[in-house]
A = this chain, B = another copy of it.
Amino acid sequence: MFAPRGGKAEVEEGLEFAPKFDRDGLIPALALDAGSREPLMLAYMNEESLRRTLEIGEAVYWSRSRQEFWHKGATSGHIQRIVEIRTDCDQDALILLVEQVGAGACHTGRESCFYRKVVASHGGASAAQLEWIGPGKSFDPAAVYGKP
């Protein structure tokens, strides 16, 4: 389904889709809400999960922790309908513009996994800290995922 990797000019200036998978066979995919452009989550796809994503029009990742296909929303109902997929100059990263179905993308119960920002400390050696952003939890993960 995907083209073989050509030279730099072909990869950067061509219209053949030749995604580069890393040595684990994965490519990073950042899901953005297609409407609000809020970043939702960053996950990884292997060749087969990318193929399935294109086929069904819903995000299918590869779970590195569980080492299995991860059809987002199969458990929670919070599927991600694909609006557009972009790739970058060297075709080793993907942006998914998605319609996030249901209460949120994050297994912690939030709309987005990016619910904290980094606050740099100006004291030099002291630790950087995080601060909450966003509306907090929008669903109860225990109820949705069926485990505490």
Contact = CB atoms under 8 A, between A and B. Distances in A.
A114 interface: yes
Interface string A11-38: 0111111000000000010101000011
B15 A30 contact: no
A79 B42 CA distance: 24
Best-buried of A1, A84, A88, A110 by chain B (most CB within 10 Å) = A88
A76 to B, nearest CB: 14
Interface residues of A, number: 49
Contact of A39 (B55, B86, B129): B86
A103 interface: no
Contact of A89 (B13, B107, B127): B107
Contact of A32 (B39, B84, B89): B39
Given A30-B39, A37-B37, A42-B93, A129 B15 contact: yes
B113 A15 contact: no
Q: What are the nearest 5 A-B pairs in CB distance?
A: A37-B37, A88-B113, A42-B93, A54-B120, A86-B114
